[in-house]
Amino acid sequence: MLRLEARPQPSRAWTYASPLLAIAITVLLGVLLFMALGKDPVRGLQMFFWEPIKTKYALGELMVKATPLLLIALGLAVCFRSNVWNIGAEGQFIIGAVCAGGVALLADKESGRWMWLAVVAAGMLGGMAWAGLTAVLRDRFNASEILVSLMLVYVADMVLSYLVYGPWKDPAGFNFPQSKTFEAATQIPRLMSGSRVSVGLLLALAAAAALWVFLFRTRAGFAQQVGGLAPAAARYAGFSSRRALWTALLVSGAAAGLAGALEVAGPIGQLTPYVPAGYGFAAIIVAFVGRLHPAGMVLSAILMSMFYIGGELAQSRLGLPKSITGVFQGLLLFCLLACDTLVTYRLRLRKA
């Protein structure tokens, strides 16, 4: 009989091997899923793991998807390492997009090229303000940040819908619920011609490097993590758990708002009801598959963006439903949770 036996201390090896095992099991379950749906499993896996990387243009699209996922995951990592459970990054992403879109709509054909910087700044401030609502309610009234941040996602979605169906609807848009297309001055600069990859990718990589320095090479980063995980010990050491709460949520909100701004002023180019793409929720998986480490999250963001692109290709080429992307994301999350058991427990063979 197999039984679980508690380890004397968590296994360092399984801490890094668990995500790899989870990915392998997810692939295996994906094969079984394609077979159950009557599809060629090799062709199905090709949609998810080969098509997104086989050409230069495909790699560019992969980076376009990975940029917002990485940015949001980096912000969430600060929260989760501080024991602040921000589940509403999707709402902060939406409000960041709305604020960035509001500034972009103020531009005209004579606006300077610097306007895109104002758009990005507005997105970050919008995300911070939306996350600040959660911080206020948690700080002043001890409300659960999980419930508050999650409920604010739906409020943000309604704000976006009101604007694109109402005052910000394009009068020349044939009654479609969308704003007018943003002026060229507000567009995020692209890294190369013929590709949609923007400077947002460089910002995301720079943010990953900055987070690594902050968490592992500064006293403030150490205080941030201690303030969230052990408030009593933090107070004894002179660290503020209240500061850790506010820092975590504001940094996370700024990162999500920046992702929203880069999305609407980059690939989308206008505000539509379809701005919410689930990046804020998928980034939670990215953060944990990446072990809340900046380098790990870079790799897991690429993996998750492959799931997004693979799901879109599976819809168009294999006739699979849109939900296939969410199925793969859910499988990866549950496999990771199961495999993480091996970090603190070992399997033992015992005679019946």
Whether residue 98 is found in the same domain as residue 56: yes
Whether residue 232 is found in the same domain as residue 292: yes
- pLDDT score of 296: 95
The two three-digit tokens of residue 329, written as one number: 């994301």
Whether residue 251 is found in the same domain as residue 103: yes
Reduced to 3 states, what is the DSSP secondary structure of residue 13? helix
Whether residue 110 is found in the same domain as residue 14: no
Whether residue 145 is found in the same domain as residue 105: yes
Q: How many domains does the chain have?
A: 2
Whether residue 66 is found in the same domain as residue 141: yes
Q: What size, in residues, is the chain?
A: 352
pLDDT digits (tens, 9 = 90+) for 57-112: 999 999 999 999 999 999 999 999 999 999 999 999 999 999 999 999 999 988 89
Give the relative orientation of helices 89-105 and 115-141 as an angle to the nearest 10 degrees: 140
Report yes or no: 63 and 325 within 8 Å, Cβ to Cβ.
Answer: no
Q: What domain range includes position 300?
A: 40-314
Residues of the chain with pLDDT under 70: 228, 352
- pLDDT score of 178: 95
Whether residue 76 is found in the same domain as residue 186: yes
- pLDDT score of 143: 96
Whether residue 285 is found in the same domain as residue 332: no
Buried b (16+ CB within 10 A) or exposed e, 186-215: bbbebeeeeeebbbbbebbeebbeebeebb
Whether residue 283 is found in the same domain as residue 341: no
Whether residue 61 is found in the same domain as residue 8: no
